[in-house]
Amino acid sequence: MAKRGVLFLMLAAAVLGLCGIANAQKTITLGVYQEPENLNTYIGVQTVITYVHKPFAEYLIDVNEKGEYFPVLAAEVPTLENGGVSKDGLTITYKLRKGVKWSDGAPFTSADVKFTWEAVVNPKNLVKSKSGYDLIQSVETPDEHTAVVRYKEFYAPFLTRFAPVLPKHVLGKFENINDAPYNRMPVGTGPFMVTEWASGNYIAMAKNPHYRDADKVKVDKLFFKIIPSREVGIAQLQAGDIDGVWDLIETQIPMMENNPALALCLSTSLTSERLILNHSTPVPPNNGNPDFPHPILGDLKVRQAIDCAIDRKAIVDKLLFGKAQAGASEIAHGWAANRDLKPVAYDPEKAKKLLDEAGWKAGPDGIRQKDGKKLRLKITTTTGNKLREMVQQVLVDQMKKVGIEFYIENVPSSVLFGSWANDADRKKGRYDIMMYTTGPGIDPHQQFEGYFHSKNIPTEANGGSGYNYTRHRDAELDKWIDAGGKSISMADRANAYRMAQKRTYEIVPHIYLYQRLTIHGFRSHVKGWIPNGNGIIDAVETWNVADWDVQK
Amino acid sequence: MKYTFILRRLLAAVPVLLIITFATFFLMQLLPGGPLAAYENNPEISQKDIERLRHEMGLDRPIPLQYWAWLKNFVQGDWGYSFTTKRPVLTEIWDRLPNTLYLTGISLIVALIIAIPAGIISATRQYSAFDHITTTLAYIGRSMPVFYSGLLLIIIFSIWLRWLPSGGMQTLGTRFSLVDSLRHLFLPVLSLSTLIAAKYVRFLRTSMLEVIHLDYIRTAAAKGLSERVIIFKHAFRNAAIPLVTVVAIDLPVLFAGALFTETIYSWPGMGRLFVDAATRFDYSVVMGIVAAIAFLVVMSNLLADVVYAILDPRITYS
């Protein structure tokens, strides 16, 4: 009898042991080819930071996969209708979610919202951008769950501020937050919390026991493994050493596609690969001065001809495996997108006609000429990017068909994107056509104003600030951009940006080639991720990590 | 006599180190970009913000002044802060150094264990099958870059056979275990030690061949000494002297890390820290590592000279 009891106990122990294995902790390891410089998005500048900080850091307002704002730490999105936004747009009242705790157990209150503003504007802090925060007059905290933000002047993208909220009880005691322990060992309100950071190796996170929906979080541990490159990441994903790999590029799609153990998470981002056409002369001493138009590109008909001589479908199908979306205008999706604008149709005959009208007649070598000058343009992009170099080759061929000669002269990205002080060609307007990627955030205002408003042409007088590298000046475009920045109602703003997009479509400062894809690889046992091409700071696929699961 | 030699060499090292750090600092400034280059293409960050950060980080000062400030602090033991992580440079280095020493140290030991017997046998059985195989392998090992052989090993052992992990130092989410650690160590050590061993085998073989044709070896053989005694007591000990200096000169590599091996196998070591810092224009981290490695190179060369003099009484320095 006693023996049987022992046997039974042993069996029970064995069964329990097996159950223990079956209930083993769920772990997801994600490979990232950049090591975050720190995890404080107010200080750090790398794109990987938003991807890694999403599991622990929360914003007042965030954006879902449809491009709609939704409240996170706020209880609702403030609007004119619900009284969250005052009639003059200067006072924003955030009602905060109740019962939220930081991962160390301290309560989240309106004092944290106020502290976030104070930290950003504190001159001792090496904050990368104070945009918007420097327009705030005061943040009032009538009670623990209400924060009233008063702006000195209307700041249209106000919903994108306070992303994320910083913990006052952790950071408030430091004179500056530049090297505070928080930056590597942050305290957040999200579903996970950072438990360890082994430099150059990995960042470990565990389920946050104080998270408001902790019992709904299925994954126990999250690792961000630092890998040297995307290629190594793909190899480790194929070998099963990691469960996901961050931020792949379009040319890597075929390496992943036909493997049933892997899944691709593709989302169309808000950024697009484009041609930026210089409207002013590239020749010194008047380079970059809009009063001296570009001898070729200054003519709208030539810009339109280039636009419809590009076969976007061929580029997407041949070089991007049919996965990307052809580019149409600045805002591809989200609340401010103009969905009536379609990618310019490929029409070489129309291009030829436009060039004829502009006075560019076919020359003996097939290249058009006018007054003895050839229709010859330099196209510049960053060196070392194979996809861009292939796109350039295709463009050269497509232009040749209508009698335009493109010649390629590429430079390293640090040269192309250099500053005014470094005498960079982009800032000084010494180029014909540049090709690179940029795009708006979910609130397009900064991008639209920076790239398209005539007041943002870089000049000596403004210290080279602004991104209007094409140096176009268009009163109607300026009017709509200003309306987008000044209207308080979201509907009016959306309409203003739609009109602004329509105007850029007509005057062609930029030619949109294709929308960039955000590409992440996963092993197929990782479930629950939802591609999201929108984001307050960047589009990040870890936005709904609380819903992820592992099912082997 | 010897002490004055060492002292003179140490004094000579001061200008060498000054020139190396000075040149590195200025060459870095010549490159387009800088610690703030990443901010330039971000519409969220205004030109005003960039100018403010440039001033706050001290990057708006003249370059000689920046170098002087760095040098003054460095000499006093203050290595400065990383421009990107805002952590002390020494912390950054201490975080990586043990990982690198673990990999390079074991690789060096493995390489010596393979290279010494292989080199000796290869020389004493010149033109035998073993010699041919060894020299061929050494030739391949020496000429095949790690970024090729490493990928090949990963494809075979990690992706096809699934025997070994493809990178990293440990299985994440598990407690440290020796077996796990050795499994992760296997491929990187294989790659790195092949490279080192190949060099030493060729070196030792040549050096042995030179020695065993000398008169005193023939004399020893004529005295009727056994082959073992001749090879180990008379030939190897003399042939090993140049090898010792080669190993001594290689020692700084132990600290600098093996860039390609660390990159291919995601090893969080010094080599990757250096490359990351260089690509991010993290001047203070680059300067810290360059100065430390330059110092170690100078020291290991000195060590090689001193050891040579101890091992070989014919050599004296004055």
CB contact under 8 A, B86 and A183: yes
Predicted pLDDT of residue A409? 94
**B31, B40, B60, B63: best mutation site toward chain A, by most A Cβ within 10 Å?**
B40
| Angle CA A387–A392–A394, to nearest 5 | 95
Mean pLDDT, rounded, for A318-330 = 92
What mean pLDDT comes out for the span A60-89? 94
Nearest to B268 by CA among B93, B88, B90: B93
Work out the pLDDT band at A17, boundaries 50, 70, 90.
very low
* Set of chain A residues whose Cβ sits within 8 Å of the Cβ of B95: 198-200
- Residues 6 or more apart whose CB falls under 8 angstroms from that of A475 comprise A454
| Mean pLDDT over the full length of chain A | 91
- Say yes or no to pLDDT of A430 above 90: yes
- pLDDT digits 0-9 by tens, B92-107: 999 999 999 999 999 9
pTM: 0.84
The secondary structure of residue B150, as a DSSP letter, is H
Q: Does B224 touch chain A (CB under 8 A)?
A: no
Task: Provide the percentage of residues in chain A whose pLDDT is more than 70.
Answer: 96
Cβ atoms within 10 A of the Cβ of A175, count?
9
Of the candidates B40, B85, B280, which has its C-beta nearest A38's C-beta? B85
Confidence of residue A537 (pLDDT cuts 50, 70, 90): confident
Helix, strand, coil percentages for chain B (3-state, nearest 5): 75, 0, 25
For the stretch A100-151, pLDDT in tens is: 999 999 999 999 999 999 999 998 888 888 889 999 999 999 999 999 999 9
pLDDT attached to residue B33 = 75
Distance CA A60, CA A70 (A): 9
The fraction of chain B above a pLDDT of 70, given in percent, is: 97
Please tell me which residue of chain B has the smallest CA distance to A236. Answer: B166
Q: What is the pLDDT of residue A282?
A: 94
**Two tokens at A279?**
């409207």
**Residue A134 CA, distance from chain mean position:** 23
Write out the DSSP string of B241-302. Answer: HHHHHHHHHHHHHHHH--HHHHHHTT--SHHHHHHHHHHTT-HHHHHHHHHHHHHHHHHHHH
- Please list the ranges in chain B whose pLDDT falls under 70: 1-2, 41, 43-44, 317-318
Are A239 and B158 in contact (CB < 8 Å)? Answer: yes
> Three-class SS of residue A70?
strand
How many helices (DSSP H) and strands (DSSP E) are in chain A?
Answer: 15, 20
Q: Would you state the pLDDT for residue B85?
A: 84
Provide the percentage of residues in chain B whose pLDDT is more than 90.
27
How far from B125 is each of B16, B80, B120, B187, CA to CA, in Å? 44, 56, 8, 31
Gap between the Cα atoms of A372 and B44, Å rounded: 44
Question: Binning pLDDT at 50, 70 and 90, where does residue A19 land?
Answer: very low
The letter for the amino acid at B224 is G
The pLDDT value recorded for residue A168 is 96
Q: What is the pLDDT of residue B30?
A: 82
Q: Which of residues 222-241 of A touch B (CB under 8 A)?
A: 223, 225-229, 232, 235-236, 238-241
What is the rounded average pLDDT of the residues A477-499? 95
Q: What is the β-pairing status of strands A262-277 and A510-523?
A: antiparallel
Q: How far apart are CA A241 and CA B163, in angstroms?
A: 11
**Could you tell me the sign of the dihedral formed by the alpha carbons of A59, A64, A67, A71, in that order?**
negative
Residues of B (126-155) whose Cβ lies below 8 Å from A: 151, 154-155
Residue A18, pLDDT > 80, answer: no
pLDDT of A12 above 70: no
Amino acid found at A268: T
A350 residue type, one letter: K
* Two tokens, residue A496: 């203003």
Nearest-by-Cβ selection for A200 from B31, B86, B273: B273
> Which residue type does B13 have?
A
This complex has an ipTM of 0.77
Share of chain A above pLDDT 90, in %: 73
Query: What is the reported pLDDT for B2?
Result: 67
CB-count burial class (<10 Å; 0-12, 13-18, 19+) for B268: buried
What is the pLDDT confidence band of residue A4, given thresholds at 50, 70 and 90? low
Residue A158's nearest CA partner among A80, A58, A49, A53 is A80
Confidence of residue A16 (pLDDT cuts 50, 70, 90): very low
A400: closest CA of chain B, how far (Å): 31
Determine contact, residues B263/B256, Cβ cutoff 8 Å. no
Say which residues have a Cβ less than 8 Å from residue A166's Cβ, sequence separation at least 6: A42, A112, A115, A116, A119, A177, A182
The encoded tokens of residue A74 equal: 């706020």
**Are A447 and A485 spatial neighbours (Cβ–Cβ below 8 Å)?**
no
Q: Do the bridges between strand A136-143 and strand A146-151 make them parallel or antiparallel, or are there none, so unpaired? A: antiparallel
The answer to whether the peptide bond before residue A164 is cis (omega within 30 degrees of 0) is: yes
Helices and strands in chain B: count of H runs, count of E runs: 14, 0
Q: Tell me the C-alpha distance between A138 and A110, whole Å.
A: 13
Residue A243 has pLDDT above 70, yes or no: yes
- pLDDT of residue A421 exceeding 60, the answer is yes
Neighboring chain A residues of B262 at a CB cutoff of 8 Å: 228
Q: pLDDT tens, A461-470?
A: 888 888 999 9
Spatial CA neighbour of A434 closest among A466, A460, A469, A399 = A469
Closest to A480 in 3D by CA, of A161, A79, A90, A156: A156
User: Residue B125: which residues within 8 A CB-CB, separation 6 or more?
Assistant: B131
Contacts of B87 in chain A (CB under 8 A): 179, 184
Which chain A residue is nearest to residue B161, measuring alpha carbons? A239
Task: For the beta carbon of residue B156, count every other beta carbon within 10 angstroms.
Answer: 13
What is the rounded CA–CA span in Å between residue A433 and residue A445?
A: 24
Q: Is there a contact between A53 and A542 (Cβ–Cβ < 8 Å)?
A: no
**The CA-based dihedral angle spanning residues B4, B8, B10, B16, taken in that order and rounded to the nearest 10 degrees:** -170
Instruction: Give me the pLDDT at residue A23, please.
Output: 53
Q: What is the mean pLDDT of residues A42-67?
A: 92
Q: Which two tokens stand for residue B215?
A: 């008169």
Scanning every residue of chain B, which has its alpha carbon at the shortest distance from the alpha carbon of A241?
B165
Q: How confident is the model at residue A90 (pLDDT cuts 50, 70, 90)?
A: very high
- The alpha helices in A341-453, defined as continuous H runs, are 348-357, 386-400, 413-416, 425-428, 445-452
For residue B81, give the nearest of B236, B294, B284, B248 by alpha carbon: B284
Strand partners, A291: none
pLDDT (0 to 100) of residue B43: 65
Tokens of A381: 């992009």
Place of tokens 């140290």: B105
How many Å lie between the alpha carbon of A85 and the closest alpha carbon of chain B? 23
> Could you check whether the bond before residue A167 is cis, i.e. omega within 30 degrees of 0?
no
When computed from its CA atoms, the radius of gyration of chain A, rounded to whole angstroms, is 27
Query: A37, A229, A242, A452: which to substitute to probe chain B, counting the most B Cβ within 10 Å?
Result: A37
Residue A190 above 50 pLDDT? yes
CA distance B169 to B100: 11
B175 touching chain A per CB within 8 A = no
Give the contacts of B173 (CB within 8 A, at least 6 positions apart).
Answer: A25, A27, A29, A204, A221, A223
Cross-chain residue pair A241–B42, CB shorter than 8 Å? no
Whole-number pLDDT of residue A256: 86
